[in-house]
Amino acid sequence: MYMSTSKTAIITGGGGGLGRATALKLAESGVNISIIDVSEEQGNETVRLIEEKGAKGIFIKADVTNAEEVKQYVDKTVSTFGSVDMFFNNAGISGPGKKFLDNSIEQIDLVLDINLRGALYGLYYVLPEMIKNGGGSIVNTSSTAGLVGQDSVVSYSATKHGIVGVTKSLAAEYANQGIQINAVAPGSTETPMVKQYREMNPDVFKAVSATIPQRRLGQPEEVAELVSFLLMSEAKYINGAVVPIDGGFTAI
């Protein structure tokens, strides 16, 4: 067990994209970080980058759709660092980017399992640790597709609308126990997941991109700034909020 007075964060999907960017931002403040991912190579690389910044990090390989593995990543974090103070509940996939009826049942199930079931499992095991310690801060990853309808992402949109409901309902349930829980709703952001989606669906992506008032994609570091603020800020009265970060996409 590390002897540290620093706060501890768990980040799911921490091997890249928004998870890695947020880990590196938190590392600048000396936060202990557990990186959760299915990719050992990417997860360990994030830990290496965390340690380059002088913070402590561990990688825990886990499938967020497996409740026992979720429990284990929470238990290992507590046994290593002593507590869970922050949780970036971020792991997710976009799905195949096809019209709903062109998806297989297996593709639908996979998106639902990772994006929604995996997020719920994480909350189920993290919340008791935070309550035990007198509180904590959680940020869930939703999406602009959780705020408005978007073509060719029906299953994804269902999960991200679900994350909005989960965030607001849990804030109502646990705010009086010191839990601060919010969600971010990124628009199209330059992550590996978005790059893959763009390559698979160039026409759909071009149509969406043209509707962003700032006429550019977001950067992972910009989202990380917002997530870090919500996790670490003294603005504890922000609770149950869903904050778009989308270049104005949902403003029009």
The answer to the question of residue 144 being in a domain is yes
The answer to the question of residue 122 being in a domain is yes
The answer to the question of residue 3 being in a domain is no
- Out of 156, 174, 197, 237, which one is annotated catalytic? 156
pLDDT of amino acid 198: 72
Q: pLDDT by residue (tens digit) across 170-188?
A: 999 999 999 999 999 999 8
Q: DSSP assignment of the chain, as one string?
A: -----S-EEEEETTTSHHHHHHHHHHHTTT-EEEEEES-HHHHHHHHHHHHHTT--EEEEE--TT-HHHHHHHHHHHHHHHS---EEEE----------GGGS-HHHHHHHHIIIIIHHHHHHHHHHHHHHHTT-EEEEEE--GGGTS--TT-HHHHHHHHHHHHHHHHHHHHHGGGTEEEEEEEE-SBSSHHHHHHHHH-HHHHHHHHTT-TT-S-B-HHHHHHHHHHHHH-S-TT--S-EEEESTTGGG-
pLDDT of amino acid 195: 74
Residues lower than pLDDT 70 in the chain: 1-5, 204-205, 207-208
The answer to the question of residue 250 being in a domain is no
Read off the CATH number of the domain in which 157 is found: 3.40.50.720
The answer to the question of residue 167 being in a domain is yes
Question: Helix axis angle, 202-209 relative to 192-200, nearest 10°?
Answer: 120
The answer to the question of residue 92 being in a domain is yes
Question: In the chain, pLDDT over 70 holds for what percent of residues?
Answer: 96
The answer to the question of residue 1 being in a domain is no
Q: Counting every residue, how long is the chain?
A: 252
Contacts with 97 (C-beta within 8 Å, 6 or more apart), sequence order: 152, 153, 197, 200, 201, 204
pLDDT of amino acid 5: 56
Domain interval for residue 147: 8-244
Active site residue 125: no
- What is the number of structural domains in the chain? 1
The answer to the question of residue 251 being in a domain is no
pLDDT of amino acid 4: 57
pLDDT of amino acid 14: 98
